[in-house]
């Protein structure tokens, strides 16, 4: 939400919409980076970790947001971007100034190979080599993302100290936790060995980054020590949350809960974001995830974020409601992406209007802009997002798909989200109860959540055809508490249940 008409969302804008967030029922918000930044990667290139970019407001606006959120029992989680700074950050400006500068070793500098080539074969996520040559000081520096995002050297204790103080700065200001950007890559192989080729990579498919397995550039064992330190700082402040952005195989992901002491409360579980929308695969994956969790670890599920295509684009428009029900009835903390509660779609952004550096470097097909378009508040001009020209185009359907209209319609995605969140918040069975997968075939996913003396049976149809399905044996009568088809709510069901195409049901069992 843009409060000052410059076309970009800002802190005062968020504050003005806290009542909406409260009415939606969410209990915490994660805000993508709001720090001073040249915006080469939309704030993920930070030039001052303890300030606010004027585009987004001031520290006073931030304090007001935290105070207003806390009045509504809403937690505020910041994006912490520790892997790299902006090349305009004073630390890097010093580091690049000379080899003798005390901050030289705050970043990763290496000599060229004898043939003048880069120190190793590591690739940038955003295209090309991960190394950039600095003519003036005759060395390369490493950047896992853009060359404007040099990687910090987390093997240097001064960097660790400085970055822990950044956490303290925001914790002192009252934030409730952090989503840690690119947690996986903070520590690199001490010898910077070459990454091996990935035999699964096929030319022209996916990002060129995928040519190599990031064996030595990511997920090094020593990173866990760093994460334990971050957690230690958070724990000094009591109830705070540490969330890790970790795109990684499930068994490795689990290590970020912490094996030698607490690490993340929530290592982000991106399986739903990455997989094909297929009932058998999802059902198997939920079982696999539940089975892989270490003792005492709390699960979490992510349905969308600013880096991936929207759920309406991944699963299809017809599945938006079913996806919401899956996210909000699985066991574990759900993370949803703003606008997904309206079923917002991937918005076509003309090539010449592309903002995302990934889309510019790798091609429009890789652009993240279609998921980042303005939130659709009402049917007014610019969907109520701004009084000016928005930084990205609006979706063509904003006149129908918006908060104001969907609030009036009990059959809308937004109304369904509200009912599901309210149910989840009020029923211990859904919030903290057990999960048991039920046998199912074809397009059906079914499971039972149990706790607080209650049992809920959830059945989801990921296909377009009606299917009949039996309630778990011996359940007798059930009652539909929430359905993707609001007319079905409050009705009783007996042993054999008709599940319509693209339908999901939460059924209270007697
Ligand atoms: C994370 C962010 C993404 C950003 C990248 C580099 O993946 O979610 O938006 O481009 O890190 O900081």
pLDDT tens-digit profile of 110-124?
A: 999 999 999 999 999
What are the beta bridge partners of residue 459?
A: 446, 505
Q: What is the pLDDT of residue 246?
A: 98
Catalytic residue among 2, 148, 181, 356, which? 181
Structural contact between residues 140 and 132, judged by C-beta atoms closer than 8 angstroms: yes
Token pair 């042993």 in the structure block, residue = 495
Pocket test for ligand 1, best of 32, 37, 307, 362 (most atoms within 8 A of CB): 307
Cα 182 to ligand 1 centre (Å):
7
**Cβ of residue 209 lying under 6 Å from some atom of ligand 1:** no
Pairing of strands 300-302, 333-335: parallel
Residues with Cβ within 8 Å of 72's Cβ and at least 6 positions away in sequence, in order, are: 18, 19, 21, 22
Q: What is the pLDDT of residue 202?
A: 85
Q: What is the pLDDT of residue 136?
A: 98
Would you state the structure tokens that stand for residue 198, as one six-digit string? 């990935």
For the chain, give the percent of residues with pLDDT over 90: 96
Q: What is the pLDDT of residue 358?
A: 97
Q: Write out pLDDT tens, residues 78-117.
A: 999 999 999 999 999 999 999 999 999 999 999 999 999 9
149: left (phi over 0), alpha (psi -120 to 50) or beta: beta
Cα 456 to ligand 1 centre (Å):
37
- Residue whose CA lies nearest to ligand 1 atom number 4: 44
Cα 426 to ligand 1 centre (Å):
34
CA-nearest of 220, 236, 237, 229 to 261 is: 229
**Cβ of residue 41 lying under 6 Å from some atom of ligand 1:** yes
Give, for all 510 residues of the chain, the pLDDT tens digit. 999 999 999 999 999 999 999 999 999 999 999 999 999 999 999 999 999 999 999 999 999 999 999 999 999 999 999 999 999 999 999 999 999 999 999 999 999 999 999 999 999 999 999 999 999 999 999 999 999 999 999 999 999 999 999 999 999 999 999 999 999 999 999 999 999 999 999 877 789 999 999 999 999 999 999 999 999 999 999 999 999 999 999 999 999 999 999 999 999 999 999 999 999 999 999 999 999 999 999 999 999 999 999 999 999 999 999 999 999 999 999 999 999 999 999 999 999 999 999 999 999 999 999 999 999 999 998 999 999 999 999 999 898 899 999 999 999 999 999 999 999 999 999 999 999 999 999 999 999 999 999 999 999 999 999 999 999 888 888 999 999 999 999 999 988 899 999 999 999 998
Cα 81 to ligand 1 centre (Å):
9
The domains found in the chain, sorted by start residue, are 434-509 (2.60.40.1180)
Token pair 């010093």 in the structure block, residue = 94
**Cβ of residue 181 lying under 6 Å from some atom of ligand 1:** yes
Would you state the structure tokens that stand for residue 389, as one six-digit string? 């020209």
Q: What is the pLDDT of residue 183?
A: 98
Q: Write out pLDDT tens, residues 452-471.
A: 999 999 999 999 999 999 99
Structural contact between residues 74 and 26, judged by C-beta atoms closer than 8 angstroms: yes
**Cβ of residue 485 lying under 6 Å from some atom of ligand 1:** no
Catalytic residue among 236, 441, 487, 492, which? 236
Pocket test for ligand 1, best of 80, 81, 181 (most atoms within 8 A of CB): 181
How many whole angstroms from its chain centre is CA 304?
A: 6
**Cβ of residue 30 lying under 6 Å from some atom of ligand 1:** no
- Residue whose CA lies nearest to ligand 1 atom number 3: 307
Atom of ligand 1 nearest to the CA of 81: 12
Please indicate whether residue 236 is annotated as part of the active site.
yes
**This prediction's pTM:** 0.97
Residue 141 CB neighbour total at 10 angstroms? 24
Structural contact between residues 308 and 401, judged by C-beta atoms closer than 8 angstroms: no
Q: Write out pLDDT tens, residues 140-178.
A: 999 999 999 999 999 999 999 999 999 999 999 999 999
What are the beta bridge partners of residue 387?
A: none
- Residue whose CA lies nearest to ligand 1 atom number 6: 44
Cα 201 to ligand 1 centre (Å):
22
How many whole angstroms from its chain centre is CA 11?
A: 19
Cα 245 to ligand 1 centre (Å):
9
Q: What is the DSSP string of 212-281?
A: B--TTTS--TTHHHHHHHHHHHHHTTSS-EEEE---S-HHHHHGGG-SSS---SEE---HHHHS-S-HHH
**Cβ of residue 44 lying under 6 Å from some atom of ligand 1:** yes
Structural contact between residues 444 and 499, judged by C-beta atoms closer than 8 angstroms: yes
Residues with Cβ within 8 Å of 120's Cβ and at least 6 positions away in sequence, in order, are: 131, 192, 193, 194, 195, 216
Q: What is the pLDDT of residue 472?
A: 87
| Three-state DSSP state, 378 | coil
| Three-state DSSP state, 343 | coil
**Cβ of residue 347 lying under 6 Å from some atom of ligand 1:** no
Please indicate whether residue 68 is annotated as part of the active site.
no
Structural contact between residues 74 and 64, judged by C-beta atoms closer than 8 angstroms: no
Structural contact between residues 117 and 202, judged by C-beta atoms closer than 8 angstroms: no
Would you state the structure tokens that stand for residue 226, as one six-digit string? 């760093």
Cα 80 to ligand 1 centre (Å):
11
């Amino acid at each position: 939400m843009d409060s000052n008409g410059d076309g970009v969302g800002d802190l005062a804008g968020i504050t003005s919409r806290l009542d909406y967030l409260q009415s939606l029922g969410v209990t915490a918000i994660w805000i993508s980076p709001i720090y001073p930044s040249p915006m080469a990667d939309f704030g993920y290139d930070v030039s001052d970790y303890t300030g606010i970019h004027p585009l987004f407001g001031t520290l006073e606006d931030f304090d007001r947001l935290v105070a207003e959120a806390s009045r509504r029992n809403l937690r505020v989680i910041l994006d912490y971007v520790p892997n790299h700074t902006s090349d305009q950050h004073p630390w890097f400006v010093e580091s690049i100034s000379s080899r003798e500068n005390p901050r030289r070793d705050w970043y990763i500098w290496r000599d060229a190979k004898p043939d003048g080539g880069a120190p190793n074969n590591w690739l940038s996520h955003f295209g090309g080599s991960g190394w950039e040559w600095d003519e003036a000081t005759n060395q390369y520096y490493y950047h896992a993302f853009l060359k404007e995002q040099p990687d910090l050297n987390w093997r240097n204790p001064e960097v660790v100290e400085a970055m822990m103080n950044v956490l303290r700065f925001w914790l002192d200001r009252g934030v409730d936790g952090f989503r840690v950007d690119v947690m996986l890559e903070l520590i690199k192989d001490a010898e910077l060995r070459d990454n091996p080729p990935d035999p699964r990579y096929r030319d022209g498919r996916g990002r060129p980054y995928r040519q190599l397995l990031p064996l030595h550039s990511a997920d090094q064992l020593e990173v866990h020590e760093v994460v334990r330190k971050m957690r230690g700082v958070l724990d000094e402040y009591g109830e705070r949350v540490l969330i890790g952005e970790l795109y990684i195989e499930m068994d490795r992901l689990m290590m970020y809960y912490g094996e030698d002491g607490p690490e993340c409360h929530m290592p982000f579980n991106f399986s739903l974001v990455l997989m094909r929308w297929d009932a058998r695969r999802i059902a198997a994956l939920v079982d696999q995830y539940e089975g892989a969790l270490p003792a005492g670890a709390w699960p979490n599920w992510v349905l969308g974020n600013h880096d991936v295509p929207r759920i309406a684009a991944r699963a299809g428009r017809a599945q938006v409601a079913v996806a919401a029900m899956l996210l909000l009835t699985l066991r574990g903390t759900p993370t949803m992406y703003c606008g997904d509660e309206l079923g917002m779609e991937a918005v076509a952004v003309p090539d010449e209007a592309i903002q995302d550096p990934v889309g510019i470097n790798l091609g429009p097909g890789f652009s993240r802009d279609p998921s980042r378009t303005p939130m659709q508040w009402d049917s007014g001009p610019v969907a109520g997002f701004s009084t000016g020209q928005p930084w990205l185009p609006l979706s063509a359907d904003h006149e129908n798909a918006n908060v104001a209209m969907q609030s009036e319609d009990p059959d809308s995605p937004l109304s369904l989200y509200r009912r599901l969140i309210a149910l989840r918040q009020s029923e211990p069975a859904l919030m903290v109860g057990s999960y048991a997968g039920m046998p199912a075939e074809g397009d059906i996913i079914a499971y039972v959540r149990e706790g607080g003396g209650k049992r809920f049976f959830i059945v989801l149809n990921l296909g377009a055809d009606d299917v009949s399905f039996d309630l778990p044996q011996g359940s007798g009568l059930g009652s539909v508490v929430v359905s993707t088809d609001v007319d079905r709510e409050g009705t009783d069901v007996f042993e054999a249940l008709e599940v319509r195409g693209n339908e999901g049901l939460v059924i209270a069992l007697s």
